Structure 1
Amino acid sequence: MSCPTALTIAGSDSGGGAGIQADLRTFAFHRVHGMSALTCVTAQNTVGVQQVDALSPEMVAAQIDSVISDLGVQGIKTGMLLNQGIIEATVRQIENYELQPYLVVDPVMVSRSGAQLIDDLAVEVLSQHLVPLAILVTPNRYEAQILSGQEINTLEEMKKAAAIIHEKGAKAVLVKGGAMPQELRGVDVWFDGEDWEILKTKNVETKNNHGTGCTLSAAIAANIALGNHLKSSVEKSKQYLTTALEYALDLGKGSGPVGHFFPLNQDS
């Protein structure tokens, strides 16, 4: 049998909760063959990140070339790209293979707690050169603040940030509300240049939410690979993530991962 293929361009999480590990499990759940181009290796667990080592931009480009030239691709997501060189190498390969119609950019720049993860030059390159190629960009509150240059504390400010990011060239923007205060927590704002929509699923109260951003963007890429419309892909993916949070895994001493394989837990 054959099936669609999806590619994650992201870092490795040695604890298995986020990064390519989360992406590949999400692809598998959706019955999409997952491929990966590794950007960096991390030593991390549920408590935090202890060390990060980047791969060379040439190696990142070689991985993308290897899988696309042989296996093809119907959905792509980017995650942690770490530095300017890796971002530029990724941009070149996306343009070379004309992959823009399949590209979901999770602009991993700032953690949910607000800590910046990449330097200012990398942020600038991502904003100016990668975001304009995307069919969808999925920033969290703090990433949306950086990309838009606006403070975000209200729903109207989320919408304003989405419009500014859309002006950078992305076909659509999903500003995620997981880090928003009070009643806005978990409320996402969708904007595609014409239509606004407020997307909300039920809140799941759990400390075990490691990898939510990776999981959502990977699910969207998988749904795109399956041939779903972009808006429908986002809606299906939000529901998948909500259920995975309901079955989150209580592992380690910190924030455990979401339950990507929740149907197996349901069966048991």
Structure 2
Amino acid sequence: MSRPFLKMNGLGNDFVVVDALSAPFAPSADEVRALADRGRGIGCDQLVVLEPSAQADVRVRFWNADGEAVGACGNASRCVAQWVMDRTGKDAAVLETDAGLLSAVRSGALVTVDMGRPRLRWDEIPLAEDMDTRGVELQVGPIDDPILHTPGCVSMGNPHVVFFVPDAEAAPVREVGPLIERHMLFPEGVNVGFAQIKARDRIRLRVWERGAGLTLACGTGACAALVAAHRRGLTDRKATLELDGGELVIEWRAEDDHVLMTGPAVLEYEGTLP
């Protein structure tokens, strides 16, 4: 049978979104990799599948480009929420994910997704051993003069480690990202952020995504960076995150501990899976 898909992106972080509302779609890891292949497939950072939900507008499942299923993707959630709201004609949507229910609203061209509470305990991220996640015992480079050290750790439904650097443009993202992604401290792998604090309300961020590599933007990475920075006293609870693909506004609300992510969502084109 032919199966429709949407090609969408949030700040250049791009997705193949497959409609499985009327017929199940359970891709193998090989099939995910084939679809994500930018040379021979459609090409994307993540594959997203939409399924019926009894408790939300839609159930959303995510796979990284390497074929691994993951629990959350912030930019993809924003894109799916936009699609749901376009379909229903409403300005609000609820998504069911493995990381929990996510609610979203839109205002003009921007969509805000409530990403829920950050997970901050070592066993929630998870780490291989008990550590203070404000600054874990991890460094890159010589013991007496490391180039990176004492990153913060946060889970936003998927694990993140955030290194604070003086210059994000000069950060060794491609060199260090793959090494930390599969470091033994992170039994499920980890997304690796390199955050430069530019002001109390502005962070420059680059992210090496688990299973996808260096991407133009990472929504959950932006959320994790703001949370990690505020826990260290480096920023306020709301900041603009400058990513390679554009800007996201992230707020960690004090009243309910939820993290809100606001940014654009773009439908590039529609097609049918090969």
TM over 0.5, shorter chain: no
Q: Of the two, which has the highest radius of gyration?
A: 2
| TM-score normalised by the chain length of structure 1 | 0.29
**Greater strand proportion:** 2
